[in-house]
Structure 1
Amino acid sequence: MRRTAMFLGAALAPLVFAGAALAQEPEGPERVSLTIYNQNIALVEDVRTLTLPAGRTRQTFPGVSAAIRPETVGIAGEGLSVVEQNFDYDLLTPDALMQAAVGDEIMLVRTNPGTGAEETIRATVLAANQGVVLRIGDRVEVLRDDGVPTRVIFDEVPANLRPRPTLSVTLDAERAGPRETTLSYLTTGLQWKADYVARFDERAGSLDLNGWITVTNTSGSSFEQAETRVVAGDVALVEQQYNPRGYPQPPRGLPGNRGDGTEAGGPGGLADVYIYPLPEPVTVANAQTKQVGLLDATGVTAARRYRAQIPGFQTYEQPQAADVAVVFSNSQSTGLGRALPAGVMRVYMRDEAGEPRFIGEDAIDHTPAGSEIAVTTGQAFDVTVQPRVVSEERADPAPWTWWRTRYTVEYTVRNARSEPVTVELRQRGLSRSTEFVEAGGGELLDSRTLGWSVRVPANGQTVVRTVVDTGY
């Protein structure tokens, strides 16, 4: 006799239960809120009204995150204490049903494709590993996928299998009756990031800025109409597997758009992190990416800037193209006046026909209000810098100064554009004891950086000369 063919999973559908109907789970939360951090972790606060008898009772919380960290669970309610808790993560699936039925009998209902007649056979499940092995009468058979229509009937649902991830808790109530109860826990599988679109108008000296929060849910559970907040800033986590630092990356190229803010503005602050509440409740379904508007600002003062960084005292055989960036401030005076969470900013600029063209993107870090933000959009091949070390000698003939070096350097800044430009020139790689002998119009920006603001005429060049003493 040709036997029914099937595999674990989708091949076992449809499934039928011969016994009593599956017990009804309690309803889900009445209210839920999410606080999502940058580090693949989120705080879930789940509010439900429980009607409990006095004394000890078993209560289930279906619909919690499948990626819950059980050790972080807290339950708060008037006159309640927690005696014991269990997280039941063995979900009701065709695979799990068949594996739970090993050693028990099931029914197979097969339909003859030619006649439509059904045949019912009792079978004992011997194994359900990489396939299903059954004993039917005195024969042992392996089910294969040969396309014969089949239904599998189970007598009951095992008590340990749940249709949704479920937290079961033994509670001790001082009195009987209903009371509002808040379940809180940490979960992995919820992440967020910020994305920005900047439309730069160089002639007007301004930009329009839109920001989006993107929330990704891979926690295994959905959250309906959740009051959602996202947190900018890292919190300390003991176990690093809960802290994948893949995003956001620190900004490229141009320093100065991080941590130099001087204003309060935008989101609420708590314990040195910023909290951004989303404007309205959102449903964050499992295996879903959702975007929600963060900001919409127009007429923010902005300008284009050229900058070149030289990592150490050396001579370049070929000129180095300068970085080009769109620079603005998120201060109140520019029309923005709020902190910005880390993310990727994409910049568009209108061409001569008035059409917006993408000119580049850059990552920004968490930026407090009142900071200067420089978004590097690429390199300017027609604006270049070429350093040349003219001389390198011991700074002083005294024997105790052998470790200090005097550098004489010339920087040739060229501009092939039809209008003059200003280039911010940065010389890096200095020691903490660097001193200017001849500044050449520059200044010491920090202990390891010299800086010049170089004005270069159209289709021309400017040479900057400096002499510095540096060493350890």
Structure 2
Amino acid sequence: MRIRGRTLFFPCLLFFATTALSAAEEQPETQLTIYRDNLALVREVRTLSLARGTQSYRLAGIPARVDPSSVFFQPLSGPGAWRLVEQRFAFDLADTDRLLAMSKGGRVLVTDKQGQTHSGTLLSALSGDLLLRESDESVKVLKADSVASIQLFSPAEGLVTEPALTWILEAEKSGLHKGSLTYLTEGIGWQADYLAVAGQGETTLTLTGWATVENRSGVSYRDCEIGLVAGEIHRAPGYGPPERRILAEAMAAAPKGASDLQEAPLAEYHLYKLARKADLPDGEKKQLSLCGPAQVKARKTYRYEGQKHASRVETTLEFENREGEGPAIPLPGGRVRVYEKDEAGVLRLLGEDRIEHTPRGERVRITLGAAFDLVGERTVKESSKLTGNTRKETIEIRIRSQKGDSARVVVAESFWGDWELLGKTPPIAKKDARKVEFELTVPAGGESAFEYQVLIR
């Protein structure tokens, strides 16, 4: 094993590692419930080979990022067949510093970079510098940058090369016993990614959803049942494939609504279960079909918020997530990329946005980017203090267009405190206590403007 430019040799390590492992087990039955915030609940059915009486049993294949306090083991061999007395979780894995620290007091053979060997008892290994007592009782200091290799003859017991649970068990009789192991681990998560291909005029979308699952837990899971939970669970404090391939799959002919995942309610959340068993190797991302391709009726709207952006007018696409207009299924929050074919039939990216968890029946809004041919202008023409904390403002909104057709622009304005609009304004919709939206139609190659007055207390 080569670490930090030095080599460690273990003449007796083969016997040591073999005695540290428990008997080989069959592949466990595994169920993964994966949450959005880098968290997974793992349930495994394991078969243990136990002797009668009290014994120690080492269970390997445990991720280093497991929460030991969440580990729960339930015997399935019948009541009283065996019981768990004590549990320890070893996660302080062996590295150069730990191996040397565990070998203090033992015999070592050090080879320096000039090829000379130094044999003795290891007294200290701080910051890579070695302190040896030689056979004549003299003490030698070897600096870290002078050492080429270190040979350890008797590594101390307790060397951990992979995370493992160690149990003290009491069994009524010897034989094979089944049990259900459940634990929470970080390092496994998922996110939703949507691909939308806009039709001509951006009045329709072909929407395809993918669930991207990533495993960085340090453990590979084979032939397991996978469920994905959409929603935000509360936790106590203190504790993608290449885009070109995805696009090809999104555009491929498929039955409407075809999906790898089947949606079902789970308390206040939504659970998406994979209809087949699958592998989830460590260090790998896997994509599963979430929904679609589904035909969606879209509406393009331009949006101007002059209090945030001086002149920027944003392009948005909206659709209703209901029967006849959208997918009509709960949509987990995630990233949406929108594409459109150009005159040559080549797909071009129009923009991308993130959507929140969207229940069935709600509206989805996707912001694509700034409209090149629309420019907004917001001017405070008058601001006067009337009495006390009351003031009156006169605001002018102006939208200029170089587009070849008319454009519907929603102008959003925000206020703080108690406010009241005065005089005549374009059609409005009061969104909440702080926001109002005006609707404006801008002619092709022209300009639209309006003024409004607001009384703010």
**TM-score class, shorter:** 0.7 to 0.9
TM-score normalized with structure 1 length: 0.77
Task: Check 1:444–1:214 CA distance in 2 against 1; reply closer, same or farther (3 A cut).
Answer: same
2:35 aligned partner: 37
| Deviation readout 1:109-130 (Å, 9 max, x if unpaired) | 99x99xxxxx998532222333
Q: How do residues 37-436 of structure 1 correspond to structure 2 at under 5 angstroms?
A: 37-53=35-51, 56-77=54-75, 78-79=78-79, 80-93=82-95, 95-106=97-108, 123-131=120-128, 132-138=130-136, 140=140, 142=142, 152=151, 154-155=153-154, 158-173=156-171, 177-203=175-201, 205-239=203-237, 242=239, 267-311=263-307, 320-392=311-383, 403-431=389-417, 434=420
1:20 aligned partner: 15
* Residues 40 and 189, structure 1, Cα contact 8 Å, conserved in 2: yes
1:8 to partner: Cα distance? 5.1
1:446 to 423, 432, 436: 432
- Structure 1 letter corresponding to 2:434: R
SS at match of 2:6: helix
* Residues 22 and 57, structure 2, Cα contact 8 Å, conserved in 1: no
Task: Check 1:10–1:296 CA distance in 2 against 1; reply closer, same or farther (3 A cut).
Answer: farther
Instruction: Tell me, in whole angstroms, the C-alpha distance in 2 between the residues paired with 1:71 and 1:274.
Output: 26
1:462 aligned partner: 448
| Deviation readout 1:250-304 (Å, 9 max, x if unpaired) | xxxxxxxxxxxxxxx9733323222233454443344444444433424322232
* Residues 384 and 391, structure 2, Cα contact 8 Å, conserved in 1: yes
Instruction: Tell me, in whole angstroms, the C-alpha distance in 2 between the residues paired with 1:63 and 1:447.
Output: 54
Say which is worse superposed, 230-239 or 60-69, in terms of deviation: 230-239
1:249 aligned partner: none
1:233 to partner: Cα distance? 2.3
Say which is worse superposed, 448-457 or 175-184, in terms of deviation: 175-184
1:405 to partner: Cα distance? 4.3
- Structure 2 letter corresponding to 1:125: L
- Structure 1 letter corresponding to 2:350: I
SS at match of 2:11: strand
1:430 to partner: Cα distance? 4.5
- Structure 2 letter corresponding to 1:152: Q
Instruction: Tell me, in whole angstroms, the C-alpha distance in 2 between the residues paired with 1:321 and 1:151.
Output: 65
Task: Check 1:93–1:16 CA distance in 2 against 1; reply closer, same or farther (3 A cut).
Answer: farther
* Residues 63 and 165, structure 1, Cα contact 8 Å, conserved in 2: yes
| Deviation readout 1:308-354 (Å, 9 max, x if unpaired) | 12449xxx9xx622111222233332351222222222222222222
Instruction: Tell me, in whole angstroms, the C-alpha distance in 2 between the residues paired with 1:151 and 1:467.
Output: 82
Say which is worse superposed, 277-286 or 188-197, in terms of deviation: 277-286
* Residues 192 and 211, structure 2, Cα contact 8 Å, conserved in 1: yes
- Paired residues, what number? 426
> Where does structure 1 lack aligned partners over 5 or more consecutive residues?
1-5, 114-118, 243-264, 396-400
- Structure 1 letter corresponding to 2:151: V
Task: Check 1:125–1:59 CA distance in 2 against 1; reply closer, same or farther (3 A cut).
Answer: same
| Deviation readout 1:405-435 (Å, 9 max, x if unpaired) | 4544442222210111111111212545545
Instruction: Tell me, in whole angstroms, the C-alpha distance in 2 between the residues paired with 1:13 and 1:184.
Output: 37
* Residues 321 and 382, structure 1, Cα contact 8 Å, conserved in 2: no
* Residues 228 and 277, structure 1, Cα contact 8 Å, conserved in 2: yes
* Residues 62 and 165, structure 2, Cα contact 8 Å, conserved in 1: yes
* Residues 220 and 286, structure 1, Cα contact 8 Å, conserved in 2: yes
Instruction: Tell me, in whole angstroms, the C-alpha distance in 1 between the residues paired with 2:275 and 2:353.
Output: 26
Say which is worse superposed, 324-333 or 213-222, in terms of deviation: 213-222
Instruction: Tell me, in whole angstroms, the C-alpha distance in 1 between the residues paired with 2:202 and 2:399.
Output: 27
Instruction: Tell me, in whole angstroms, the C-alpha distance in 2 between the residues paired with 1:408 and 1:134.
Output: 84
SS at match of 1:215: strand
Task: Check 1:278–1:290 CA distance in 2 against 1; reply closer, same or farther (3 A cut).
Answer: same
Instruction: Tell me, in whole angstroms, the C-alpha distance in 2 between the residues paired with 1:100 and 1:152.
Output: 13
SS at match of 1:337: coil
- Structure 2 letter corresponding to 1:88: A
1:307 to partner: Cα distance? 0.7
Identical aligned residues as a percent:
28
TM-score normalized with structure 2 length: 0.80
